[in-house]
Amino acid sequence: MSTAFTFPGQGSQAVGMGRDLADAFAEAREVFGAVDDALDQRLSTIMWEGPEDELTLTANAQPALMAVSMAVMRVMEKGGISLKDKVSYVAGHSLGEYSALCAAGTFTLADTARLLRIRGNAMQAAVPVGEGAMAAIIGLPAEDVEAVCSEAADGAICQIANDNGGGQLVISGNKTAVEKAANLATEKGAKRAMMLPVSAPFHSALMAPAAERMGEALAQVAKKRPEVPVIPNVAVSPITDPEDITARLVEQVTGRVRWRETVEWFGRNEVHTLYEIGSGKVLTGLARRIDRQIHGITVNSPADIEAAMKALA
């Protein structure tokens, strides 16, 4: 059996995130300072003190989540945990894929912070406010959700954005189409269909302008082969070639986050321990619902780090 490190996506942010790490570890403070410098902004102050609505902004939440993940990584590295010696694969949920690649050495910390700031701004700007929407569909098979999206689209955009597992799918696209799809899903027997309080229709074809912008930004950034293979959201198979990684990151902006399939891939390939590196515990909960044979471990506090380092030693 082997181990993978996974990295959380948007929605795992919370005011106060990373403060305990900064108080306890110089390596964490260095990460937060470097991200602040890269963005020319005291992002760490927003992370620790809020206000919450400012932290929740896509352009802030994305680099903030990466910063906490990398603070955990740097502390563990200082404690003697080498990614290439202890971990077989890395993966991240949406923006978490950038955190995974930073942890694996593909991107520098400063470049990752700047890429995520560009990504957040580009995704927000891709669609005028109010024209796009997302909804969570609970308890309806994926093929039925696909059918609902097709029926509701009627020339507009409506597609599955996230397959999170545990019977949870998220749809994204034009607001009227998504609202219609949510109603149809309820009629077809979904346990729940709820509109999400998001600022843009992420992971849909409406994000094409953002995908183009990320292609331009990624072309200008130095990339190294990751120390361990990454499992990209849109492909669900290990990759290490920097150009392949770039292509998958661009595709990810408009493509589906295939998290259920990612966890299932881990299970089929004897990866039975997943350490969730960073803020929150969303991915640990999802892993438990997707495959009961997989052991999920959350690592985001000083005590978590100490326990993880003992287990991995």
**Residues belonging to the active site:** 94, 203
Contacts (Cβ under 8 Å, ≥6 apart) of 280: 8, 11, 12, 13, 14, 298, 300
Classify 82 in phi/psi space as left (phi over 0), alpha (psi -120 to 50) or beta: beta
Contact predicate 120/22, CB 8 Å:
no
Contact predicate 113/66, CB 8 Å:
yes
Radius of gyration of the CA atoms of the chain, in A: 19
Amino acid at 143: E
Contact predicate 224/242, CB 8 Å:
yes
Three-state DSSP class for residue 131: coil
How far apart (Å, rounded) are the C-alpha atoms in residues 175 and 170?
13
Three-state DSSP class for residue 116: helix
How far apart (Å, rounded) are the C-alpha atoms in residues 169 and 138?
7
Number of residues that this document lists for the chain: 313
Please state, in angstroms and as integers, the Cα–Cα distance from residue 303 to each residue in 255, 295, 307, following that order: 36, 18, 6
300 burial level (CB within 10 Å; 0-12, 13-18, 19+) = buried
Q: Which two tokens stand for residue 169?
A: 């799918």
238 burial level (CB within 10 Å; 0-12, 13-18, 19+) = middle
